[in-house]
Amino acid sequence: MEFIKAIILGIIEGITEWLPISSTGHLILADEFIKLKQSTEFMNMFNVVIQLGAILAVVVIYFKKLNPFDRDKTPRETQLTWQLWLKVIIACIPAIIIGLPLDDWLDLHFHKFVPIAFMLIIYGVAFIYVEKWAKTRPDSLVDLDRMPYKFAFYIGLIQVLSLMPGTSRSGVTILGAILLGASRFVATEFTFFLGIPVMFGASLLKIVKFALSGQGMSFYQFSILIVACATAFGVSIVVIRFLMDYIKKHDFTFFGKYRIVLGVILLVYAGISAVFGG
């Protein structure tokens, strides 16, 4: 049963990591009904490291675009690849400076139903209104290769908001990039690439904290983690391709409405749990 639960959680992670609907909100809700019988320390690590499976899907799908050592690339294409990585690194700086000191404090105070529900609703409303506004002006950035370094840094600053559980890293960076003038395609693609160092860094941080907690990881726990990551990887391959096709014809309004509905469900569930002592 633990492996079946890990597969279900991997499916949830693979779907919700890339759609701007908050993987944290979905995982915390799923945990209420399909709890893994593991320690709190392991679960804190598991819920972050499972994202490695999702991020590896980006590496696989965009390997040629992201690989500066590809011998088939022209010198100009190689230069653009290095520039893309530099933009990604620049965009990560604010999260490193601000996120590392606040990681434990945010987990302690905001990794709960009510704060997550409010973040889901707030950014759901934001998506709806930003999309309405975006339709009134032309996109100023429609080519990722032409993204200024300053633009990338601004997206990095906006990404700091995603430190709040329930916000959605992909959601807030896509929203921010659209506000800054990027097309949905550029905003989404850069969000995917920005997730690579962010998720690897967050996973490493959680693994180190788990190790320092004094708990060793058993082979059984390691197997559960690998199954969840592998599932998240496979599902992410499908979801990423779906999303890139979806945004060619649609905007993000639907996801904003979905976030609001999910946020309300979480608030209702939290209220019922409080009344009945659940």
Overall average pLDDT of the 177-190 stretch? 95
pLDDT single digits (tens) 109-155? 777 888 889 999 999 999 999 999 998 989 999 999 999 999 999 99
Look at the block and give the residue holding tokens 């993204």.
147
Is residue 270 scored above 90 in pLDDT?
no
In the 3-class helix/strand/coil scheme, how is 174-216 assigned residue by residue? HHHHHHHCECHHHHHHHHHHHHHHHHHHHHHHHHHHHHHCCCC
Predicted local confidence at residue 16, as pLDDT: 92
* Contact (Cβ atoms closer than 8 angstroms) between residue 128 and residue 256: yes
* Contact (Cβ atoms closer than 8 angstroms) between residue 59 and residue 196: yes
Which residues make beta-bridge pairs with 182?
141
Where is pLDDT greater, at 276 or 144?
144
Predicted local confidence at residue 1, as pLDDT: 81
pLDDT single digits (tens) 19-69? 999 887 788 788 778 888 888 888 888 888 898 899 999 999 999 999 999
Is residue 258 scored above 90 in pLDDT?
yes
Phi, psi of 137, deg, nearest 5: -140, 150
Radius of gyration in angstroms for the set of CA atoms belonging to the chain, rounded to a whole number: 19
Task: Report how far residue 128's alpha carbon sits from residue 95's, in angstroms, rounded to the nearest whole number.
Answer: 26
Contacts (Cβ under 8 Å, ≥6 apart) of 208: none
Predicted local confidence at residue 148, as pLDDT: 97
Tokens of 111: 């990794």
Average pLDDT, the chain: 90
Helix (H, G, I), strand (E, B) or coil at 141: strand
| DSSP code of residue 96 | I
Task: Report how far residue 190's alpha carbon sits from residue 87's, in angstroms, rounded to the nearest whole number.
Answer: 9
Task: Report how far residue 131's alpha carbon sits from residue 175's, in angstroms, rounded to the nearest whole number.
Answer: 9
Tokens of 186: 């550029």
Predicted local confidence at residue 140, as pLDDT: 94
Predicted local confidence at residue 213, as pLDDT: 81
Q: pLDDT confidence of 277, banded at 50, 70, 90?
A: low
Counting every residue, how long is the chain? 278
Tokens of 241: 């391709």
pLDDT single digits (tens) 229-256? 999 999 999 999 999 999 999 999 999 9
Alpha-carbon 7 to chain mean position: 19
Look at the block and give the residue holding tokens 């949830």.
12
Is residue 107 scored above 80 in pLDDT?
no
Predicted local confidence at residue 278, as pLDDT: 54
Is residue 6 scored above 80 in pLDDT?
yes
Kindly provide the b/e burial profile for residues 1-28, where b requires at least 16 CB atoms within 10 angstroms of the residue's own CB.
Answer: eeeebbbebbbbbbbbbbbbbbbbbbbb
Phi, psi of 18, deg, nearest 5: -100, -30
Task: Report how far residue 95's alpha carbon sits from residue 161's, in angstroms, rounded to the nearest whole number.
Answer: 9
* Contact (Cβ atoms closer than 8 angstroms) between residue 270 and residue 50: no
- Torsion angle defined by CA atoms of residues 94, 99, 100 and 102, in that order, rounded to the nearest 10 degrees: 140
Alpha-carbon 98 to chain mean position: 17
